[in-house]
Amino acid sequence: MKKIAVVFASASLMALAACGEKPANETANASNAVVENVVENAVNAADNAANAANEAANAANVAGNAANAM
């Protein structure tokens, strides 16, 4: 959904540029905010994936420790 927002924001800016008008600061700021949110979400997704991998490794270690204790 956010990709669609980026596309629409970009299209709006291009349409204004094609008309020879300068985009308002609010429009540019909103577009930048969308891009920043997409980047932040990508970073968060990478962090979540790393955390999930760490949790899986920890679970494997617990299972290995349990097997060694028997």
What are the tens digits of pLDDT across the range 6-42? 666 666 766 666 565 555 677 777 777 777 888 888 9
Residue 48 pLDDT exceeds 90: yes
Give the span between the Cα atoms of 40 and 43, in whole angstroms: 5
Q: Give the pLDDT band (50/70/90) at residue 57.
A: very high
pLDDT at 65 over 80: yes
Residue 17: what residue type? A
Integer-rounded Cα radius of gyration of the chain: 22
Q: What is the pLDDT of residue 33?
A: 79
Which residue did the predictor score with more confidence, 8 or 45?
45
